[in-house]
Amino acid sequence: MSGRLAGRRAVVTGAARGIGAEIARTFATEGASVAVLDVSAEGAATTAAEVGGTAHVVDLRDVAATRAALEEAVGALGGIDVLVNNAGVLRKAPLLDITTDDWDDMFAVTLRPVLVTTQVAARAMIAAGGGGAIVNMASMAARTGGAGQGHYAAAKAAVVALTRVSALELGGHGIRVNCLCPGFVLTEMGAATRTPEQVAEWTSRSPLGRLGETTDVARTALFLASDDADYLTGQAINVTGGMVM
Is residue 1's pLDDT more than 70?
Answer: no
Gap between the terminal Cα atoms of the chain? 38
Q: What number does CATH give the domain 9-187+213-233?
A: 3.40.50.720
pTM: 0.96
Banded model confidence at residue 196, pLDDT cuts 50, 70, 90: confident
Banded model confidence at residue 90, pLDDT cuts 50, 70, 90: confident
Q: Quick one: which of 174, 122, 182 has its CA closest to 152?
A: 182
Is residue 115's pLDDT more than 80?
Answer: yes
What's the pLDDT score for residue 183? 93
Percent of the chain with pLDDT over 70: 98
CB 184 within 8 A of CB 243: yes
116-136 confidence digits (pLDDT tens): 999 999 999 999 999 999 999
- What are φ and ψ of residue 67, in 5° steps? -60, -45
Exactly one of 18, 51, 88, 152 is catalytic; name it.
152
pLDDT, mean over the chain:
95
Active site residue 231: no
